[in-house]
Amino acid sequence: MSLSASSHNLSLAEISSGQPVARSAIPELPLPQFQGAILDALRDRRRVCALFGATDSENSFKISLYVVLADDQHGRLHIARTGVSADGFPSLTPQCPQVHLFEREIAEQFGVKPLGHPWLKPVRFHRSYRAGADAWNRGPADVVQAGVMDFYQITGGQVHEVAVGPIHAGVIEPGHFRFQCDGETILHLEIALGYQHRGVERAMRGGPDKRSLHYAETLAGDTTIGHGCAYAQMIESLGSCQISPRAAAIRGIALELERLANHVGDLGALSGDAGFLPSASFCGRIRGDFLNMTAALCGNRFGRGLLRIGGVGFDIDASLAADLLKRLDVAERESRAAINLLWETSSVMARFEGIGAVSKETATELGMVGPAARACGVDMDSRRDHPSGIYQFSHIPVSTWRGGDVFARAYVRWLEIQRSIQFLRDQLKALPVGALQAEVSAPQPESLVVTLQEAWRGQVCHVALTDAQGRFERYKIVDPSFHNWPAVAMAVRGKQISDFPLCNKSFSLSYCGHDL
């Protein structure tokens, strides 16, 4: 850790992903400087990775705000904190749309109001962490129910309101979408989530314990390895543990298999939503083949139980590596055929091209991450920008595209599929040696760690604050969906409501990852 000399970050602690910093070394700024630092950072092409509140104990009136800013170009993270009173603090959202949901989350969790927030609504519909404090002055008798809030409304002769969900016709997670439409055109979409809120962040308090890793694995079921790796790396850096190259390689293999299964599955689902059956059926089956490779690795198709603190629980021996390579060849050939069929079919391309376009400016302003951001031409990928584990030694080229429409989001996935397969082949052919698990010491007390992982959906960010005994005093999780949900609403504005499902699928965001 060092205090950066650059004029912009004079007052911020500078670390990198997975590097613990003593809490005393994090500068406590007065609120105006704290917010000024965030605005400076955005002007400087940095991003808000996380902005969250923390208290020493559940009833404390002293609320601290922490911000984690990512400098993707230099692979550095800048951290600062500030104190806010229970009466509220001036909202930064009007100047900085990226913090819109973060400020709503702070209001909901700590009952402290961001004053002047343009759309202060609950995010997950739960009671505040501080007993009695509520940003909406709801008493203990008032019912707090997901989706019950005032929605943005437009009135007028031809304007009509369409409410979709929370229960959907397909087997997907619950979420409520409220459209204001003029005929077939969407004027405004408001998304209300929170139906899947389980209180994971709160349950992590007082950890790490035996449950913590499993909480992390189930934050979003389809991102088991992504969230699991972020958590495991957190405990390892707090316990000054360096995992072996072999364990790092196996984690990388699992993470890329997860990416492959989800990307192929999503391309199939996109094809299905466009009414094009051949690719939909083939991709659905090939997704299963990739999941089965993960199962061959650890016995579970989603990779549950593969990760252990200090390494991995399962080895890849020579025969398994040969078997996986063989399966990879078949899956590559088949997915190439099924996916190229999409690009070659003009009726499919007519549905993909130009639909749900997000500009690069909007993507940057909203702080979008992952393939959805790369499809807008934003050149970012935590595997390159904030590498950890195997990605420090083995690089995967970043796949970007232009246009930010459904086609771009689909095509970036296809580019990533090809590069992940190449990466897997390289790793499986030359697995490094080393112990599967390394010793991990007790977590460092009074520290803060940020870990970033590029999961298939985008950047996963975990932040832990430990107390004097080395237990989690605050555990903050930011799933990529949290950054990207507002982009879905922007992508469909002014577009046809009949294209919404396709557009939504092209983002393929998580509900439970957002709801935590």
Partner 1 sequence: MFENIINPLIHIGLLVAMPPLLPGVINRTKAVFAGRKGPPLLQPYYDIYKLLRKGMVISTTTTWVFQAAPVVTLAATLLAGLLVPFGPFAAPIHFTGDLILFVYLFGLARFFTTSAALDTGSSFEAMGAAREMTFACLSEAAVLLGLLVLVRLSGSVSLTPMLLAPLAHRPEAPVLLAAAGLFIVLLAENSRIPVDDPNTHLELTMIHEVMVLDNSGPLLGLIQYGSAMKLLVLSALVLHLLVPFHAGVPGVDWVLFPVELIAMAGVIGTVESFMARLQMRHVPTLLAAASLLCGFGFVLMVR
| Residues binding partner 1 (CB under 8 A) | 160-164, 168-170, 183-184, 271, 273-278, 280-282, 285, 345, 347-348, 350-351, 355, 496-502
Cβ-contact 471, 206 below 8 angstroms: yes
**14: helix, strand or coil:** strand
Sequence letter at residue 487: A
Q: Which is nearer to partner 1, 302 or 500 (CB)?
A: 500
Q: Which of 182, 178, 235 is nearest to 212 (CA)?
A: 235
Q: Which is nearer to partner 1, 291 or 497 (CB)?
A: 497
Sequence letter at residue 39: L
Q: Which is nearer to partner 1, 168 or 327 (CB)?
A: 168
Angle between helices 245-273 and 224-238 (to 10 degrees): 150
Helix (H) or strand (E) holding 177: strand 176-182
Residue 387 CB, nearest approach to partner 1 (Å): 39
Residue 497 CB, nearest approach to partner 1 (Å): 5
Q: Which is nearer to partner 1, 39 or 337 (CB)?
A: 337
Residue 121 burial by CB count (10 A; 0-12/13-18/19+): exposed, middle or buried? middle
Cβ-contact 175, 489 below 8 angstroms: no
Q: How distant, in Å, are the alpha carbons of 8, 118, 125, 202, 515 from that of 367?
A: 20, 18, 24, 25, 19
Cβ-contact 135, 155 below 8 angstroms: no
Q: Which is nearer to partner 1, 19 or 496 (CB)?
A: 496
Cβ-contact 335, 289 below 8 angstroms: no
Q: Show contacts of 275-282: CB within 8 Å, 24+ apart.
A: 276/342, 276/345, 276/347, 276/348, 278/338, 278/341, 279/338, 279/339, 279/341, 279/342, 279/348, 282/334, 282/337, 282/338
Residue 168 CB, nearest approach to partner 1 (Å): 8
CA–CA dist 99, 34 (Å, integer): 13
Q: Which is nearer to partner 1, 72 or 499 (CB)?
A: 499
Cβ-contact 482, 513 below 8 angstroms: yes
For the stretch 62-99, what's the b/e string if a residue is b when 16 or more beta carbons lie within 10 angstroms of its beta carbon? Answer: ebbbbbbbbbbeeebbbbbbbebeeebbebbbeebbbb
Residue 177 CB, nearest approach to partner 1 (Å): 9
Residue 502 CB, nearest approach to partner 1 (Å): 8
Residue 59 CB, nearest approach to partner 1 (Å): 45
Residue 503 CB, nearest approach to partner 1 (Å): 10
Q: Which is nearer to partner 1, 281 or 300 (CB)?
A: 281
CA–CA dist 62, 424 (Å, integer): 48
Q: Which is nearer to partner 1, 432 or 501 (CB)?
A: 501
Residue 181 CB, nearest approach to partner 1 (Å): 8
Residue 184 CB, nearest approach to partner 1 (Å): 7
According to DSSP, the residues that pair with 81 across neighbouring strands are 28, 66
Residue 147 CB, nearest approach to partner 1 (Å): 16
Residue 286 CB, nearest approach to partner 1 (Å): 11
Residue 339 CB, nearest approach to partner 1 (Å): 14
Q: How is 26-91 classified by DSSP, letter by letter?
A: S-B--HHHHHHHHHHHHHTT-EEEEEEEEESSTT-S-EEEEEEEEETTTTEEEEEEEEE-TT-EE-
Sequence letter at residue 148: V
Q: Which is nearer to partner 1, 45 or 160 (CB)?
A: 160
Cβ-contact 409, 432 below 8 angstroms: no
